[in-house]
Structure 1
């Protein structure tokens, strides 16, 4: 028989108000449990945060929002995010100039701009176009369980097995997926690649009108008032709950650790936490837009992961008369690196970038977990009696993965507490 909770003691303490923690708390609360979320920072969201800087809207690292994720569609009233879409395709900068990879099925007209770049002999050969059609049809239409339980291998090996030439992989898939996986050798789980490709085919990549931070804020706003405590750092777990950095102790029947990898390793040292990818994003401001469309640009020469004029996606990201350009690279910022990026952007955009202002730089040290094959798509949340963990490192490095991990933790906690 479950033990009754003493008066004033919550059933569950969730440590961390990122996507996983907020999803976990929401599900536990809907199940009738008393839950408190403890967040060390001054805002919810974890890595999904938005800052306002000199009149610009700056997400903490370049991020996009995919409308097709099942957890997203279940939890979020999408119209309230005022979503603005990217172009359904990318511009690939090659030694032969810029080529457009577009999805002709999403064009509003019968002659989509850039369709000629998909004709044999330009971006792709006949063999690659056939392989692309077969891959896309399978990933979009097949039952998702087939993708989840297929053989796992690296993405590069999976693409070769699907019939793609090495030339097309290097021209399109490697530069594009480098910005998705935050690694440029296509070493990420091929099973995860198929799920990502499916989500892109079935959904729309976009940005909220108020910045990516609007997503976790919307989740938090749906929770009861005072259920989230900001500025509340947990120093350690105790036998009865947690001890705060202030020295105060908070009891609870169960504790769910839903923080980033650093705090997770400190609070649960027995847990095996994967390594994480590091990404740096440079935000430049210009009085003229270098590309008058909301399109992602990749580079086959590996000088950056991707670049985009964010104010073409969401005009409110920049003050009137200004443009905001975001460019991401692997790893940390370093001496001379911004100048190298600026030089590359001058070529890619065919623009004079010397007059651009470097607005700010954002380095995210724990942007995505390393997902080498074989990659488990979900792991148990239970660590010890009364101790649980959730986050993208327990599932996949995506919004879907973080939310699904929080949902799994909630199910396991509720079951253990007799709910």
Structure 2
């Protein structure tokens, strides 16, 4: 139980990955911190349901090994990443085509091939920005163990880029037409070599408009880029900011799609395990905040020197009136199990034709064997938008076409729907929304940056840096309020 006059330097409201990451940075700097979470568990949307030996993520957003904050965030040193097979599989016209996959080791020939691709492609076909060519850097998973965040060079780091090339299967992808795979290679190679600052300086328009204006053929956009960006941004209509779309394509071009070993909940659990004991308190509902006081429903007021609101966007706006609430992309994840897994290996499978409700699917137990008991396969599929009433039946029919096998005997493990799953990043989108509202009051989360894990962690870094800068004088930022004269229960009322 929290005492009414309990005092700490900083109170963090919300124990999602943003709040926990910020708390880790603050406590590491010697700032006493309390993290209050209304739910009975930590992690927020990064939750994993455990049933009959299966680990089922509630929101199936894949990560990237190239997210810089995965390697830079304190507390995630022990995180193990399980990479998907390179590239993606695209389903089109009854066939599956592998695309966007760099080969294993680079060579001078492959580097020359990338240069020739850029030189031969029309100028409008290449993404603008950047000078010269840097071939795609392959990131093969180590054979001896699963990948860790620091195994992968972050964009902009000093690690030398190794030239790579797409696997030959990408050249045979029929949806692109003859010659257009070279344009895709050129576009991805160019965007991989473009500094993030230059991407963020580009005009911000809807992603669909930006792709059309860059001269890429419609068949290339609809057959590869649209399904890929739909999977990465949870936005099938590509209304997302073109800057955010460019960042997603850059992450794809410079890294590998991956899953955290053991489920999404592993990330917040790792962050909690490295915090001082007693820092995180679950089941504590915050009803109001000020620059030096947090009021809770059950435990009265907690006095502090600063407050960081690290909840979802809607809850944050309730605590901080005037904070803008973005739109959201609904996401439904359907989990099936079978004893005869489809023969797609550890690939992420996309539907290039949009011939059903499934945007992307994968046999995730092939990517991370810890997510299913021995002898069983776990197939997780993501539906974007508002699902139909018979979503499981529609998903089964669609999966039968995508995988080319009967799904009648597949067992449904869970259907997880979240109407406000991913904050929308419609153009124009400010990727660096302020985290310091005023001295003593701060906010962070993926709604302040990009609606990805990278965005949540980066906003936490910005917020913690702002708090430490304000606390760095060693003097209180404001006068402390007098202790309440009412009892905790009266104050809560």
TM (norm. structure 2) is 0.78
Report the CA distance shift for 1:83/1:184 in structure 2 as closer, same or farther (over 3 A): same
Q: Mean Cα displacement is larger for which, 214-223 or 329-338?
A: 329-338
> 1:36: Cα distance to partner?
0.7
Question: Which ranges of structure 1 fall in alignment gaps of 5 or more residues?
Answer: 1-6
Q: Is the 8 A contact 2:97 2:173 kept in 1?
A: no
Q: Distance in 2 between matches of 1:121 and 1:56?
A: 34
Partner in structure 2 of residue 359 of structure 1: 413
Q: Does 1:258 align with 2:258?
A: no
Partner in structure 1 of residue 144 of structure 2: none
Q: Which runs of 4+ in 1 moved over 6 A?
A: 107-112
Give the secondary structure class of the aligned counterpart of 1:151. coil
Q: Is the 8 A contact 1:117 1:123 kept in 2?
A: no
Q: Distance in 1 between matches of 2:346 and 2:272?
A: 29
Q: What does the per-residue CA deviation read over 1:188-236, in whole Å, with 9 as the maximum and x for residues that have no partner?
A: 1111111111122222221222112111211222221111112212122
Q: Distance in 2 between matches of 1:363 and 1:55?
A: 21
Q: Is the 8 A contact 2:242 2:427 kept in 1?
A: yes
Alignment of 1:117-128 (within 5 A): 117-119=169-171, 122-126=174-178, 128=180
Match for residue 384 of structure 2 among 315, 326, 330: 330
Q: Does 1:297 align with 2:357?
A: no
Partner in structure 1 of residue 247 of structure 2: 195
Match for residue 210 of structure 2 among 139, 158, 165: 158
Partner in structure 1 of residue 287 of structure 2: 235
> 1:133: Cα distance to partner?
2.6
Q: Distance in 2 between matches of 1:70 and 1:104?
A: 20
Partner in structure 2 of residue 180 of structure 1: 232
Q: Is the 8 A contact 2:338 2:411 kept in 1?
A: yes
Q: Distance in 2 between matches of 1:218 and 1:32?
A: 20
Partner in structure 1 of residue 51 of structure 2: 53
Q: What does the per-residue CA deviation read over 1:100-139, in whole Å, with 9 as the maximum and x for residues that have no partner?
A: 2141334799999x94543377232355333323322222
> 1:265: Cα distance to partner?
2.2
Partner in structure 2 of residue 11 of structure 1: 9
Q: Distance in 2 between matches of 1:55 and 1:234?
A: 35
Match for residue 422 of structure 2 among 345, 368, 378: 368
Report the CA distance shift for 1:378/1:207 in structure 2 as closer, same or farther (over 3 A): same
Alignment of 1:31-180 (within 5 A): 31-75=29-73, 80-106=78-104, 115-119=167-171, 122-126=174-178, 128-180=180-232
Report the CA distance shift for 1:41/1:413 in structure 2 as closer, same or farther (over 3 A): same
Q: Is the 8 A contact 1:101 1:123 kept in 2?
A: no
Partner in structure 2 of residue 4 of structure 1: none
> Aligned-residue CA RMSD in angstroms?
2.5
Between Structure 1 and Structure 2, whose CA radius of gyration is higher? 2
Alignment of 1:302-321 (within 5 A): 302=354, 303=356, 304-321=358-375
Q: Is the 8 A contact 2:88 2:100 kept in 1?
A: yes
Q: Distance in 2 between matches of 1:308 and 1:378?
A: 33
> 1:316: Cα distance to partner?
1.8
Match for residue 395 of structure 1 among 436, 449, 453: 449
Q: Distance in 2 between matches of 1:392 and 1:343?
A: 34
Q: Is the 8 A contact 1:260 1:366 kept in 2?
A: no
Q: What does the per-residue CA deviation read over 1:391-417, in whole Å, with 9 as the maximum and x for residues that have no partner?
A: 111111111111111111112222223
